[in-house]
Structure formats: structure tokens, C-alpha cells
Structure 1
């Protein structure tokens, strides 16, 4: 009955849970839950047994952060919500991406640049254009960008003395004729630099006016005018020749025309009344100059000057000459100058062997040193005729006009000069033996003598030139070692000769010893240690040998040997030959020999050796068995 009641509750209209809910029947009761997008303050799964009143109200999802993606708007609806991208954004992969309006070329008008921004865009007229509305940034296809006429502005943007030309979106500037700008003509603001027209000074340019004229600059132009002394003809300035008029200069003057002017110059030998070198006008006169009255004379020293109208002439005094010759005047080429005539430069002016001494305007002759004057000639003086001219141990050598002393061989001058003059010098003996190395060479004795030296070899050395050699003798002195060992009998018998530098030595050979200057044989056998045990020593001249005794042999196997390193060992005949003693016998080893013994049941001498005369034979009379066992037999 309860179940039926609950079914009737959920089937009621309106439902007991209210709008926007779900009623669920349960045994004897029911429960209420809100539909998605709705909530109740009592929570879901409410039943009448729980406190409160169940009522479902709409949930506004748009109040929750992050319910919609960035750059979108959330719109709540009953039990739900929706997301819409903001203007300037479009939905893609559940996010709102910025729409690039500038991708559409129609977004902005002609002569405008489109600037995209997040969710929007703007149009800006290009430089040189302005929007029809006057706004810098705009969005509207009704807007247009109109050209700005910069040239209509006052003052002109190009500045003074210029021409401004308007162009779509820009303008260009050019200077008027006679003006220039560092940026050049046809300049526009897009080009670098600042446009400014300044006056061109045409007068600074070469050739703008004809030669011999003056250029005058003016603002934007210039003018030309001929200089004084020139006249204009056929657009050129021609020189006016003032010298064409003979009255331009006075008598004794020469007229010199120059471009645009002229000058008068008194001829050489004349001077102007004003004293000016160059002048103009008939007020001046040219008077003769007396050059010879000047101090110093214009002809120079040692000369004679003679004045003439407008000139003068020069001649040299006797004993002097000028390269220009006598009777020279300034009209002649060259420069007049009187110099002393050096008569000494002329050949034969003085006798042979004399000296010529020049003097101003004259000369004198004197015999040279070593010559004396006789009958106007200079004869040689023989200084060697005076024995005092050279010191002792020196030889005098006369020469034409002089002499020289040379120390004799083996002597040297006190000054060190090879040739000298005067008694102040002496010739001293040269000690050749004090030189290093010695002039005699190695292994020698040098003996100094007055003016020379002599050489001898030390004992044990010899020279092919012999001893007591001196440089006056032929050959070259050289001491070489004498090999005494090449001489027979220099050392005693049984000895060796050893040569050494300047000497030799004798030493007895091995096996000999020195005694009384002879080499005697050494008897090595006198020393019992020369040979090993069981060996016999045999002495020989200068040597010895060891031989093992009979029955023994050396360890090396040599029959003769030397040294303690060897030993003599038993030969071992019994081991080498088992039948050496014959049948029924025993061979016994004895140092250096062997012995033979009978077997216990044979009777013979107890031990036989090879030195015994009787033969070792067996007997056929053996002992009885009992005897054998009673015998004290020792087998080897």
C-alpha cells in the first residue's frame, strides 16, 4: 500500500519535487534531484524526511572563471550557457583566434596602410595624404585619403630661392638658376639631408669671365668688366700697348709693356732722377752713372776701372788675371774678377827639386830639403856620407832628396818603425827565442845571439838540418822523435822495447824477470800452487805446463795446461773395461790406478795391481760352503 502511495506522489502533476527536477520513486517514499544546469540549497537526493524545502534554480555558469575561452563572451541560459567569440576573433579548435582584417585589401582605402591589432585594426593615411574626416586612425570604407599639397603652404617647405612641385603623396624641391643645394635638385623628404638653396658665387669658378677681367657676384647672377690697361673687344679683354707711344718714357730709358700696364727702366749705366728703378711719365730723366767712383770699385780688387758714357770697363793689374780678359765691360758675358796668377802652376818656372812659393802678384823658388842650391840648380845631398846619420846596427839608404835608416836583420828600431831618420833612434837586438811559439818549434832549445838565434833538438829528438841550426843555414829546422826501438840491441834478450816521445823503455816479457839488467827465466814450478793436486809441473823458458799423473786426466781434457782452475780426476779403468781383471775377479778403483781381487771362493793374492809381476788368475779349488759362510769377505 505504501509503494502504491509513492508511485502516486511522483506521478502527480505538478511533480512534488517541483520544476527542473527529477522525482524518483523509492519503497514507501521518493527522492528529488535537480536536472543538470540547476541546483537546490538542500542538495540532490533530497526526500521529505530531510529538512528544508527542495527547489531547483538555474546555475549561472558564466559566473565561473574560465568557463569560456579567452577573447569570448559567456551567455547564460536556463539550465545551460553558450560561448561566443568577441568581435575581431573567430572560433577555431575551441579557442578564439584574432582575425587579421588587414589580410583583406578592401579593409582600408587607397593611399592608406592597415595596422592589425588584437581583435581590431586601424587605417592610417600614408605620408603626404590626409583622411577625409581628418582622423589619423579610422575604420570606415567611406573614408578616403586625399593628397596634401605641401607646396601651397606659406612659407614654402622648400625655402627661399627654390621651386616646389607637388606630387601624389609628396613634393620635390629644386633651386632657382644661380642657386644650389648640398642635397642637389629634385630633392624630396624621402631623400637624406636638408634642402636649402644658397647663392652660387660664379666668380669662384675658373673661366667664368674672360682673361684680364674682374668678376662681380650678385644674388643669383654675376657680371664681368675689363681691368685697367685692357679694353673689351669681341667679348675678350685685350692689352693696351702703352710702349707704342715713344713719349711714354724719357731718353736713355727703355719702355716695358706688361699686361694691363707698362714701366720705364733707365738703360744700364744710367739712373732715374727719382731713384726708382721702374717708373712711368715724362717727368723723370735718366743720368749717366760714374761706376768707377764707387767704393769699392765695381771692377774689384787688383784692377783698374775706366768710366764711359752709360758704362765702364775693367782691366787687371800685372800678376793678376780675369777669366773674362782685360777691357771687360758689363755688356760682355761673364763676371769680371781679378785673381792672383799662381806662377808656380806653370811648368819650369823653378828648377828641378825646388819648391815654388806663390805670393800676391809674384812668386819665389827654394831648394827642397835634401837638396842644396848650386849654379841656379838644386843638387842632391848624400846624407849617408855622414856615418852619424844612422845608429849602430843600422844600414843607411840614400835617396833623391832624402835618406832612411833600416835596422839590420835581427834588430828592431826603438820606435818600431821599419824606416826612420835621426840619431834619436837605436837598433836593439830581437830576442827571437822569447817569442811564443818558439821559432825553433816544439822539442827544441832556442839560443838567442846578437842579431840572430840558433836551434838544437832536445835529447831523443833530431832534425834533418842537424843541431846548431840558424836561419842563415839552408833547410827548415824541425825536431821529430827518435824511435830508439828501431835500433838493434837497445833492450836485453827476452824483453820488449816501448818507444815514447823523446825516450824509450824496456820491459821483460811474461815468464821472465829483470835482474842485473838482463831478463832471467821465472821457474813457475818452484811454486807448488802453480799446478793442481795429482799433477806434475814442467818448467820451460818463459813458461811452464802441468800434466796430470798417470791414471788421471784433466777436467778440460787437455794433456798440458796452466792454472789452478784445472783439476786432475781419476780415469776409472774398472768402469770403462769390466774384463780388465779377468773372470772370477773384482776390479777395485784406486786413485790413479786399479786393483784386482778374487771372489770369496777363489784363492789368489788378496789384491793385485798392474805393477805386480804375476798374472792374476783364478783357481779351481773353491772353499766349502761352510767356509764361505765363515769367511769375512768384504766385497768392493
Structure 2
């Protein structure tokens, strides 16, 4: 059976026991001396002497162990033990208290027995002092107590190490977060081994985990959990949580500001001047179109439609007047009054009789007509048509603008021998009122007749192009 203490191997318990307990000598008178195991009787010296097992026992220690002879036994110790310097206070294994053959047995044998003539006994007697192996110290009661090398500072641990006492020895170790490299405790860089899920900071003997923005550290102090930033309502409108962050969105009509969280009103009116037919007014999150007086916003919310004051009765015309509606307004027409020598023949026509000498060089009839025209209307545009209502055999007709075309915005285009069309050749800006006398000349060479009729056309040009 083997015992190992701090790298020492103790062999042959019976031999070691012989070195630590009393030596019993069995004396057989007349037949010689018998010694305990580990000792041999020397007839010349008449005593038991130690046997050197390291020389006499083949392969007493195996492997990398070295045999060290002891009184009554031997020790198997690592060869590296002899390469380490011993401190002066390092406990050493005491020698066994066996009689020294070179000095005799003056204090190890029993005293002379009375009546025997002072003859010394032929067997040795070992002192009763307890002998302890390395790492133990004798106690007063004769037992061996473990030596706490860590407490007595008799260990060989360097300052970076931690001493841990063991039975019969001690161990040099490192604190948590350090490992032993070349007899030195060096810090373990835990960050190299992925201890943290996201961010890791190595510190002496330990490490610290942290998380990227948008995450919080879990109770395990290693993994990270996504933070739902939307719970704190960081956005002025809508919030959408993402892994590690969040996104803000805005209601229709708003756009995200540069800070990424605030929603500012979107000025739709600045995008285009064609959003509204007349004028665009920006509103929070939207826009609205407004129309000038005399118009209302159409169903599409953008176009302007003329408000017919004559049909709705929302006008100031008297019962004697006639309400005439045009784009963006209306006018009240007074009852027709024909100037002499003309006489009224209908609500809108005056006639000069041929029998009346004052009518000889005047148009036979004057017909009053009214129309409206949008400001800036695209040209050329056919805006009015006139034709002969009475036809005579052999007669032909000439159509022309007799008056009112000072700016030369109009011209007459004859479409047949009995009809013609008034053409707008230049845009007219309103509001403006234009009165044109459109003349139709009738010529009949058979009967040598020439006469004319007038259409007095009043054009109300609106202020706006709609």
C-alpha cells in the first residue's frame, strides 16, 4: 500500500512504521538476535542496524521517483524535488531515533537491572518522542498535526499566487479570473472567448458586458435584449419598433424632420402651382383650394365653378331688369330702349323702317346679343356665328366687323355665302367689356339693292381664366 504527500511516495508501510515506533527486539537466549523489518542483526556489533533498501531492493522506486534510504525504511521522492532550493524554515523529515552504532547505546538502552551484576540488556529501547513525516509537526499528545504552510508563510507561492493549505502540504493557485502561466498568475481575457453577446470590456480578474444602443443587459449579465423604444412614445406621430432601434412615421400630409422623431407639416402648395385652379392654402397635414368671388370649389376639391347668381336669385337685379350671368359674376341689363329713328320690334331688336327717310343710310335692324369670355382664352377660337335669315334670289352677303375692334383681337371668317364666324385672334385679359357691331351687308344687283343689318354683340371678359 502506497501513501502520497506533496509529491512524496512512502513505500512499505511496515518499514516506515519501524522508523517511527518503538523498535522491538526479540531475544532468544542461546539462539541469536532477531530484528524488526528494515533492520538486520550485526553479530559483531551485537545490535540491529538499518538495511539500505535503495541498494538491496531491485527497482525500489519506479518511474521518475528517486529512492532515499531512511532508518527502517526508504522514501520514493520526485527527482525534481532535488532541483528546488530548500528554505531554511522548510520542515524536513526527522531522522528516526534508532541507536547510532558509532556511539554505542548509552542513552537508548534500559538501565541495569538490580541483582544481575550491572549487566546491560542486549536489546535497544527507542525514545518515546513521536516522529512525523514532512508536512506534519509533533503535538504534545504524541500525535502529528498538519503544518499550515499558508498561515506560517512557509510556502513557495509567489506574490501573484494564492496559497491553499492541504494535508501535509499546500497548493499554489490563482484567484478567479487568472490562470497560471510560467509560475505567474496572469489575467484571463474573457472577451476573447465570447463571454458577452455584444460588447465586452476586460478588467483585471474579470470582465464586464454591455449592449449596443437599443438593447439592455439581461439579468445574466451576458446577453442583451431588444428595447421597445415605442413604449416611451418617442415619435410625435407613429412609431415602429425594430431590432435594436425604432422608426417614426408621420400621418398623411406630414414629413419626418431631421431629428427622425418629429413630424412637420408638408406644404403641398409649394410642390406645384397646379394643385388648385385658383389658389392653394396649406393646412396642417393637408391643403385646401379656394376660389375667387363668383365661384365655388367643385366636387374634385380643386377646380372652380362659376356660381350662377341669376339662377340662384343671389343677385341685385330689379324685376324690370334682366340678369345676365357670366364667368365669375353677373350684370343687370336694363330694358331695351331703341333710339330714334329706330323702333322696338322685340325685346332685343330695334328696326328702322324703309319708309322713314331718316333710315335711308342706316342699318335696317339692330339685334342685341350678349356673351361671356374667359380671360386669356387660347387663340384662335371661334366664339360667335351669324347668318342670313332671309334669302333673296340673286343676292349675296358680306360679313364684317363694323366697330369695336380697336385692338384687332377679332376677325370675321366667312364660312358660306350666307354665314360667317367671329374668331378671337388675340387673348384678352379681363375683367373687360367689349361691344362689337357685326354687320351683314346684303347686295342684289338684279334689283339694284344694298342694305345691311347689325348684331350688337356685348362680350363680358371674366377676370380669371376659368
TM-score, structure 1 normalization: 0.24
More RCO (CA 8 Å, sep 6+): 2
TM-score, structure 2 normalization: 0.32
Structure with the greater alpha carbon radius of gyration:
1
